[in-house]
Amino acid sequence: MRADKLFEPFSFERNRGALSSYDLNVTDVVSAPEDAGANTLYVCLKTPVRDGHSSAAAAYARGCRLFLAQRGLGLPEDAAVYITEDPEAYLGDLAARCFGYPARSMTVFGITGTHGKSSVIRLALDLLSGAGKSVAALTTDAFFLGDVVTPIKTAPTAADIQRMLRAARRKKVEFVLLEFSAYMLAHHSEKAIPFAALLCTSLSSRASVRGLYRDTEAYRAATQKLFDAGAPLGFLPAGLSVPCAVKRCVTFGDKGDIGVENPYLVQIEPPCTAFSLTFDGQRETVFYPCVGLHAAQNAAAATALALAAGMSLGEIAEGFFTASTPYRLECVCEVGGARIFLDNAFEAEDLTYALSSLRRITPGRLSVVLGSVGGRAFARRAPLGKAAVTGADFAYFTADDPDSEPVPRILRDMVADVADTGRFLALPSRYAALCRAAEELRAGDTLLVLGKAYDETQLISGVSELFSDKEVLLDAVRRR
C-alpha cells in the first residue's frame, strides 16, 4: 500500500522527508529494527526493555525510510519521519490497514482474564477442530495455525497480531481465538479487530500484589479494556460484573447461563472430571479428562466459545471425551500404578489448588518438582516453597529458567520458610531432580511437575538450551 494511502485516515505531522515518500509501497509495519526493510513502516515503541527511538538508526541501516515516532530521530534527509504523541496507539490500525484488514474475513473471539486463558483457548481449539471447523488460535505461548505451532517468547504487539490474522486469512481460517493479557491490552494489542464475541475467564488481584499495577482497580481496568472494544456478545463468569460495551452478556460456570453442575472426580484412566453441562433448557453429561474442579469452569468457558461458533451442546459434550488437557494437570503417563502430571502453576495459590486436587486421587505419596525463575519473582519463591511442602508429602526443588542467577541462591529462597528439612530435597540439576522423582515413584503415588513443563528450553546464562521435561520424565520411566 502506498504511504499516502496508509496514512490517509490519520493526522500525523511530517517532521522531515520529501513528499516523494508518499510514493513508497509499504508492505509491512514493524516495531523491531531487525524486522525493518526497504518497504516497511518502522513504528518507534517504548517498552520496559527498549526505546524504539534509539533503534531507529538500525532500522534505517536495514533500508527502512518511513518512520512514525514521538519525536525527531536525527536520521538522514531521505528518511521520512512522522510525529504523533503515542505511536503505539496507532500500531494496530496501521498494520490492519496495511494488511487489508484481515480480521474482517473471519470470526474472531477475544479472551482475557487473570488465569485460565490459555487452557480455555486450547480446549476451545480442540472442540472446534474436532467438529471439523477451520480455526487458528493465539496464546501467550504459541500461535496455532493448522498443523503448524509457532512458539512465542514475548508478548505479541498489535502489529504481530495483525500479521498472524493475515496468515490465518491466507489459510482460509473461519474462526480465530485470541488471548490478551493485561500487559497486551495496556499496549493497545486489541486495536482494529472486529470481535464477534469477548470472554473473561476470571479477575483477581494477584497481579497487583506482584507489583505490576499500582492497585487492584488498576489491574482490573487493564484487563477489562478488551471489553471496551465492544462486540455483539460477551461471556463472563457467573457472579462477575464487568462494565462493558457488548450488546448481550451471557454468564458461565456454577449458576451461570451456561452451567456446570455437580462436578466430581472419576477414578478411571485417564482420571476425569465429570459434571452436568446445561444451557437453554438442555442438559448433557460430560467426562473431561482433566483433574481438578477448575476443569469444570474452564470447560464452561470453552463451551461458551464453541456455542458462539455454532456448535450444539451435544456436539460440545461429545468433544470433551477426546479433548486434550494442556497446561493444567495433564496426566502424561502412568507407571507401575503411579501417575505423573504436568502443570503450569507459578503462584502459591495455584500450586495449593493443584495439589489439593491431586490429593483426592492419590492413595500413596504425593510429590512435586518445582523451581523459580532467576533474576526476578523473588517474592514468589518462599510462598511457593511453603505451599509445596504443605500440600505435598515431598518436594524436589530445582532449577527453572535460572538465567544468570546462581541456582543455590534461588533454592535457598524457596526453602526459607520450610522448617522440616526432611520434607524436601534441593537438586540444582533439573535433569537430576526429574529423574530422581520419577525413580522414587511407587504404586499409588502421584508426581506433579510444574513450571517449565510445557516448554522445550531452559534459560541458562542468557542462552535458551533445549530441554523437555516430558521427554526426560518419559525416558526416566522407560529406564525403571
Instruction: Please report which confidence band the pLDDT of residue 98 belongs to, taking 50, 70 and 90 as the band edges.
Output: very high
Asked if pLDDT for residue 19 goes beyond 60, the answer is no
pLDDT at 291: 80
pLDDT at 190: 95
Asked if pLDDT for residue 480 goes beyond 80, the answer is no
Asked if pLDDT for residue 382 goes beyond 50, the answer is yes
Which one-letter amino acid corresponds to residue 13? E
For cell 482460509, the residue is: 172
Instruction: Please report which confidence band the pLDDT of residue 452 belongs to, taking 50, 70 and 90 as the band edges.
Output: low
Instruction: Please report which confidence band the pLDDT of residue 454 belongs to, taking 50, 70 and 90 as the band edges.
Output: low
pLDDT at 18: 58
In the chain, the domains with their CATH numbers are 3-98 (3.40.1390.10), 102-320 (3.40.1190.10), 330-479 (3.90.190.20)
Mean pLDDT (the chain) is 90
Question: What is the average pLDDT across 148-174?
Answer: 94
pLDDT at 209: 43
Instruction: Please report which confidence band the pLDDT of residue 238 belongs to, taking 50, 70 and 90 as the band edges.
Output: very high
Q: At 132, is the secondary structure helix, strand, or coil? A: coil
pLDDT at 22: 63
Asked if pLDDT for residue 404 goes beyond 50, the answer is yes
For 237, 280, 402, 417, 473, the CA distances from 259, given in Å and listed in that order, are 10, 10, 42, 40, 37
Span 327-380, pLDDT tens digits: 578 788 888 899 999 888 778 888 998 898 899 889 999 999 999 999 988 988
- Reported pTM: 0.84
Judging by DSSP bridges, how do beta strands 272-279 and 258-266 pair with one another? antiparallel
Question: 255 and 293 in contact (C-beta within 8 Å)?
Answer: no
pLDDT at 183: 87
Span 166-224, pLDDT tens digits: 999 999 999 999 999 988 998 999 999 999 999 999 887 554 444 456 666 777 777 78
What is the rounded distance in angstroms from the CA atom of residue 450 to the CA atom of residue 464?
18
Q: Dihedrals φ, ψ of 424, to 5°?
A: -150, 165
Range from 159-168, 197-206, 412-421 carrying the lowest mean pLDDT: 197-206
pLDDT at 405: 95
% the chain with pLDDT above 90: 64
Question: What is the average pLDDT across 130-157?
Answer: 92
Closest by Cα among 373, 329, 330 to 353:
329
Higher pLDDT, 326 or 30: 30
Structural Rg of the chain based on CA atoms: 24
What is the rounded distance in angstroms from the CA atom of residue 284 to the CA atom of residue 315?
10
Range from 90-94, 177-181, 222-226, 471-475 carrying the lowest mean pLDDT: 222-226
Question: What is the average pLDDT across 99-117?
Answer: 94
Instruction: Please report which confidence band the pLDDT of residue 240 belongs to, taking 50, 70 and 90 as the band edges.
Output: confident
% the chain with pLDDT above 70: 94
Q: At 45, is the secondary structure helix, strand, or coil? A: coil
